[in-house]
Chain A
Amino acid sequence: MPPTDLEPARMNRKKGDKGFESPRPYKLTHQVVCINNINFQRKSVVGFVELTIFPTVANLNRIKLNSKQCRIYRVRINDLEAAFIYNDPTLEVCHNESKQRNLNYFSNAYAAAVSAVDPDAGNGELCIKVPSELWKHVDELKVLKIHINFSLDQPKGGLHFVVPNVEGSMAERGAHVFSCGYQNSTRFWFPCVDSYSELCTWKLEFTVDAAMVAVSNGDLVETVYTHDMRKKTFHYMLTIPTAASNISLAIGPFEILVDPYMHEVTHFCLPQLLPLLKHTTSYLHEVFEFYEEILTCRYPYSCFKTVFIDEAYVEVAAYASMSIFSTNLLHSAMIIDETPLTRRCLAQSLAQQFFGCFISRMSWSDEWVLKGISGYIYGLWMKKTFGVNEYRHWIKEELDKIVAYELKTGGVLLHPIFGGGKEKDKYVYYPEVFNKLLSLASTASSQKFQSHMWSQMLVSTYGFLKSISNVSGKDIQPLIKQWVDQSGVVKFYGSFAFNRKRNVLELEIKQDYTSPGTQKYVGPLKVTVQELDGSFNHTLQIEENSLKHDIPCHSKSRRNKKKKIPLMNGEEVDMDLSAMDADSPLLWIRIDPDMSVLRKVEFEQADFMWQYQLRYERDVVAQQESILALEKFPTPASRLALTDILEQEQCFYRVRMSACFCLAKIANSMVSTWTGPPAMKSLFTRMFCCKTCPNIVKTNNFMSFQSYFLQKTMPVAMALLRDVHNLCPKEVLTFILDLIKYNDNRKNKFSDNYYRAEMIDALANSVTPAVSVNNEVRTLDNLNPDVRLILEEITRFLNMEKLLPSYRHTITVSCLRAIRVLQKNGHVPSDPALFKSYAEYGHFVDIRIAALEAVVDYTKVDRSYEELQWLLNMIQNDPVPYVRHKILNMLTKNPPFTKNMESPLCNEALVDQLWKLMNSGTSHDWRLRCGAVDLYFTLFGLSRPSCLPLPELGLVLNLKEKKAVLNPTIIPEVIAGSQEATMNPSSHAQLVGFQNPFSSSQDEEEIDMDTVHDSQAFISHHLNMLERPSTPGLSKYRPASSRPTIIPQHPSGCDGTPSTKPQWNMEFSRKGTGREQSPLEMSMHPAAATPLSVFTKESTSSKHSDHHHHHHHEHKKKKKKHKHKHKHKHKHDSKEKDKEPFTFSSPASGRSIHSPSLSD
């Protein structure tokens, strides 16, 4: 190592082998961001940044920074003009002349482009040459101040302007601007080191209109008028070292509310919403108290700000000492449904203040630790606030989601080391194991707060595990090995038999570990057996070949005496045991009741056991599992059990709600033998209707939330009932119509908008396909009389919404959905015009999304090219980023066609259009680009779309692709294809899994070479223009770290074992409550799949730059030949690298140690 004993260089080094090593040849200590002009009319920003850096190597000649979109006017270093090059290869991933249209090619090219500017690899779009006058200065490792003047004109990402088109000044119009983006998107609005691992202190200055407020990170030091008194400047200081990616800004004519309980907390909202803001934030101080107590440490920042803005990019975005929320989270005291959701968002963002903002991460592989810790303490808050039932329900929900996702798309790997990483460096993330880990770690984390060593503010997986063992002394290695070495979930199949002679329960537990996304589990497994004499826990040891487990029973024989039966929680209850098997003392059995294994359990037990479990087991998860199981047992006994649960007021309301739907399903299965009124009708009447006139519902009183939710849900479930003709019974429809008719909210303290919306949903649920006589045109005359009644209600509701709008327009949303249902079922002519008008900009976002969903559905059902074009146009031009993202998302979920499908929509023009969209049209928004890739994948798959004509003969590679079985491009395709049929179409695990080209074929590499080479060569070309030799350690092979930039939702990784069979590894970061949290949002992760060639190419490009340069520009046509030569070299390089042991834990730690100059 060179003498880098200067403080900044040492700062990041911890003792031991896993310290943080900066990938940059300098250390950033302080940054000034000054925006002195913001023009709302033109949507432009002018300002400068000043970075204070300490070189850590003597011959630093180039400084690479991140910057996108910005126009850079001038760069000075220590007041000397500096030359700079601005190049962003992600703007256009594959170059124009290329006719390639396959996703493999794209993903490789994109990975190369992204890693070429990845800050965690020490790269950046902006390359500044240190003036020769300063070389000596640099050699002494003295401080450099880089001053960059920049402007931003009509930014498409990073900063979002909202400028309502009304009369008045910008402040009167409620115009505002805020920073946004997925993960590290700060580079979109000012030049910086856009990495989570480069921390520095900040000075932020924003000059805005006098009527506006600028909210940013850190402490507001002062506000000063400009000389003309028409503007004022907000000066912020952030003394806690913070990553640029955690810097944010919101400017607007905000109303200011100082939190009455905590004066250092300030809330901001748009004009007129102050009463809502007061109500919404009135709860926040309790969350603060809770977290501070649980972590036994104070909130790290000296202040906290919440800003509620319109057209939010995401509902919640946490930045250092401030959070930006969607204004749509605000609500008044009358709203029931939104309240818990909003509180969850607040709590979630606050948890991220501690972990994520204050404590940052070393590399992308460590993201899961922060997401996990914040998610875990958020979970604790949930438990305390909403109760254990809600908490367990939430855990179950999350577990189900993860299991469903992994089984669909393959395993999730959260801590990947690409290429030759050691096994212990790989960690799987999942919340349940996490609970254990974190309870041990919370003390450890609190110690971290006291230390002010910057590097300790970065958490890594290794450091995290170390602190666990330090604090608790426990070795969690087996746990980690089980979950970390393998990705995927466990699939248990359980069944049992009772051996009467031995009084033993013979439990058989099988595992499916061959289907994708699964793994084999070895270790302890808890089984709870409820017997007549009580509930007993057994811990089984799951081993390689042990399928059967004998569990001795405690209860001797039959219930002779009438005796109360003790439950797990100590309660003793009377049970009617007549349904039981006379020979067995077993009431029910549960496998892994605590959900401590990431698993899916399919357990076989008799219907009466499920019924007992539903009635008497007190755990809500068990109740829900039994409800799910009872769907398969449509018997009067099941019916009775469900009805009893429905009526039981002590029962958790969510269980009762799912019992409603189960009852509807059972009733439909039992339709021929069903006696009495339609399911739930008499129950509803008893609970919610007047005593004297049972057909009239009581006037609304939603004081009891449990019964409110039940009242909302029951009609929706009832509408799913079908008679023998598979029609909704007339009685049910009349019943629902009466509920709507007699709905009276005048005496209610709460709004009934959600209730009414659900009534419309119920109406929609009752719709069955129209009987169509040879494709007659749908007109009013042949309208079904029932449908006429439904339509009447929908019309009235929708029209009343125009006069008396409901909160968040829930009713409009339900009406639009209902209309689409009517269209789809052939009652009303299918026509997208109505939805298109509601989808326009200017409607409330919920309405727009509902309308767009209908258009997407129409596009699919009617195969309309026009509508598809309309949607694509909106994806490109809509002013709201969230809506654009959602359209792509919905198109991916409900695609107009898929890869293996013949469709008139699938044509060359569409391919080109989508290609252009992901290639260059979405460069300003990571999330959007991944969305576009998702869609492209869903529509065309990984390889060249089939609708394209045969490629020209000149392109050898494309020709090859069409040739034979041995062809490399086809091999992965076959595998992918087999998966796709059953799998989530948007799973880009395939992409990720697409392996190192060396392993599959040598030729394959050439496919990638064109563009990869293009962007690489371009960079190296520019590098060569600078006279000094390249800075070591800059262009090193840096695998997983390139991810940040390309992962919108869920960073994914890949393990790089060379094999032709794709690994289904994908990172999955949970989003806490995540209303948005659909697995479909998982995005592809091309960088992780980047073949070694890309990286080695890069690494060599500087060494052999002359050659490359030459090669690229002059011998393009003979490329192939040259490449072979190179390839061997590269291969050699990469192999060499693979052999070298990793010295550092995270990829971000880099390999600069091996760079020539350093090791010299």
Chain B
Amino acid sequence: MADTAATAGAGSSGTRSGSKQSTNPADNYHLARRRTLQVVVSSLLTEAGFESAEKASVETLTEMLQSYISEIGRSAKSYCEHTARTQPTLSDIVVTLVEMGFNVDTLPAYAKRSQRMVITAPPVTNQPVTPKALTAGQNRPHPPHIPSHFPEFPDPHTYIKTPTYREPVSDYQVLREKAASQRRDVERALTRFMAKTGKTQSLFKDDVSTFPLIAARPFTIPYLTALLPSELEMQQMEETDSSEQDEQTDTENLSLHISTDDSGAEKENASVLQQNPALSGSRNGEENIIDNPYLRPVKKPKIRRKKRTCLCCTPQTKIK
């Protein structure tokens, strides 16, 4: 069938728009389409030599055909979107069909079969129009650098700014007041929520809700929470560091940027060098001059050296 592609295209666009709108004209549209499909099914049945068919079986077949076509449409759409287009091309359809296990090569032959029936074109039904209520202003045409197959601009109200003429609050006092009360509200709401959802302690025996205290919970490693700055503080610190720079020592800043997690001896070594290239360089021209016993590699046990371990022991001594 030559119009499969077109049908599929229409079907896909139909399902898309159909799924979005369920107004009355849309219903009509769907009914008409279904009627056409029924005609197609019936003619195919006739082609196959059926005299008559039960309504239920025609319905079933229609359903099957519809879902088949829908699937072609959906899949073709995916393929075309995958290549950053909005309109499916023939190749999208072909790939889709191949993907669905359909032998595309048989299609021309099938289209030219002798006993095929030609059905009348479906009655033209009105495409469901997007409701007027939502359009505001005219859609802007694509500027020249945007290819035409790209989607249209959305309705202007979604991106056009509407200047308001009320004076924004810039009074320092009000701003501070607002910031303070906002933060306080957030904190209170948050802590209250935490208190409601967890265990609490109370200062008053008769009342547990007015001053709910989140219950004290012991940590397995208490010093970590106590000593490490919270993420918020870290963030804040970075911000202030970049914004205002003063004569705070370099090492301090450096220490902040080095990741907290695993830093073995080697990494340490590197960062140390980095930190202080001038000093280490001046002392000794060589690159790896830090001779700290804790950075040295661990030796292999000695007794094995007699036979095999020689191999792994000697290079170490060389390194040293």
A-side residues, CB < 8 A to B, are 164-166, 174, 210, 213, 219-227, 232, 255-258, 260-261, 263-264, 266, 270, 272-276, 278-279, 282, 303, 310, 327-328, 330-334, 690, 692-693, 696, 703, 741-742, 744-749, 751, 778-780, 791-792, 795-796, 798-800, 802-805, 807-809, 819, 822, 828-829, 831, 833-834, 837-838, 840-846
Contacts and interface: CB of A to CB of B under 8 A. Distances in A.
Interface string B225-255: 1111110110011001100101011011111
Contact of A751 (B229, B294, B302, B303): B229
B180 A800 contact: no
Given A282-B249, A333-B252, A703-B246, A799 B226 contact: no
A748 B232 CA distance: 12
B214 interface: yes
Given A279-B255, A780-B206, A799-B194, A842 B219 contact: yes
Interface string B273-302: 001100100000000011111111011111
A800 B187 contact: yes
B258 interface: yes
Contacts of B212: 795, 799
Interface residues of B, number: 83
B256 interface: yes
Interface string B173-199: 100110111001001101100110000
Given A224-B298, A334-B229, 19 more contacts: A174-B221, A219-B293, A225-B301, A256-B265, A257-B272, A260-B275, A264-B292, A332-B255, A751-B233, A779-B204, A779-B207, A802-B214, A803-B194, A822-B203, A828-B203, A829-B205, A840-B216, A844-B226, A845-B222
Given A692-B172, A796-B188, A274 B291 contact: no
Given A331-B227, A799-B214, A278 B203 contact: no
A809 B216 CA distance: 13
Given A260-B272, A751-B233, A828-B204, A227 B301 contact: yes
A184 B217 CA distance: 37
B298 A310 contact: no
Contacts of A276: 227-228, 255
B180 A225 contact: no
13 contacts: A227-B301, A263-B289, A263-B291, A263-B292, A272-B261, A273-B227, A274-B258, A303-B293, A696-B173, A780-B206, A792-B211, A802-B191, A844-B219
A843 B190 contact: no
B225 A844 contact: yes
Given A272-B228, A692-B173, A840-B218, A260 B204 contact: no
Contacts of B219: 842-844
B263 interface: yes
A342 to B, nearest CB: 12
Given A260-B251, A263-B292, A270-B223, A227 B230 contact: no
Contacts of A747: 240
Given A692-B172, A749-B240, A749-B241, A833 B298 contact: no
Most A CB within 10 A of own CB, among B180, B181, B292: B292
A799 B240 contact: no
B220 interface: yes
Contacts of A303: 293
Contacts of A692: 172-173
Nearest to A799: B191
A160 to B, nearest CB: 15
Contacts of A799: 191, 194-195, 212-214
Contacts of B211: 791-792, 795
A266 B269 CA distance: 12
A1075 B291 CA distance: 37
- 6 pairs of A and B residues whose beta carbons are closest in the complex: A842-B218, A799-B191, A220-B293, A278-B255, A693-B173, A333-B252
Contacts of A226: 301
A693 B176 contact: yes
B279 A166 contact: no
Contact of B268 (A256, A261, A779, A828): A256
Contact of A808 (B221, B226, B241, B301): B226
B90 to A, nearest CB: 59
Given A258-B295, A828-B203, A803 B227 contact: no
A166 B222 CA distance: 12
Nearest to B251: A282
A247 B173 CA distance: 62
B310 to A, nearest CB: 15
A257 B268 contact: yes
Contacts of A224: 298-302
B169 interface: no
A1112 to B, nearest CB: 51
B226 A223 contact: no
B300 A225 contact: yes
Most A CB within 10 A of own CB, among B181, B253, B272, B302: B272
A76 to B, nearest CB: 24
Interface in B142-187: 172-173, 176-177, 179-181, 184, 187
A819 B296 contact: no
B260 to A, nearest CB: 6
A841 B218 CA distance: 7
B258 A748 contact: no
Contact of A843 (B201, B216, B241, B261): B216
B215 interface: yes
Contacts of A232: 298
B251 A278 contact: yes
Contacts of B261: 272
B224 interface: yes
A429 B14 CA distance: 99
Nearest to B257: A275
B82 interface: no
Given A260-B276, A266-B294, A843 B187 contact: no
Nearest to A310: B223
Contacts of A690: 172-173, 176
Given A690-B172, A748-B240, A829-B204, A802 B227 contact: no
B304 interface: yes
Contacts of A165: 220
Contacts of A744: 176, 179-180
B224 A328 contact: no
Contacts of A220: 293-294
B191 A272 contact: no
Nearest to A816: B216
A696 B176 contact: yes
B210 interface: yes
A703 B269 CA distance: 33
Contact of B194 (A802, A833, A837): A802
A819 B203 contact: yes
Contacts of B205: 829, 831
Contacts of B180: 741-742, 744
Given A746-B236, A796-B188, A829-B205, A275 B256 contact: yes
B172 A693 contact: yes
A798 B205 CA distance: 19
A263 B279 CA distance: 11
Contacts of A741: 180-181, 184
A800 B260 contact: no
A222 B320 CA distance: 12
A334 B232 CA distance: 12
Contacts of B269: 258
A749 B248 CA distance: 11
Contact of A837 (B215, B276, B301): B215
Contacts of A844: 219, 222-223, 225-226
Contact of B220 (A166, A223, A270): A166
Contacts of A328: 223, 226-227
Given A795-B213, A837-B215, A166 B229 contact: no
A868 to B, nearest CB: 22
A278 B260 CA distance: 11
A780 B210 contact: yes
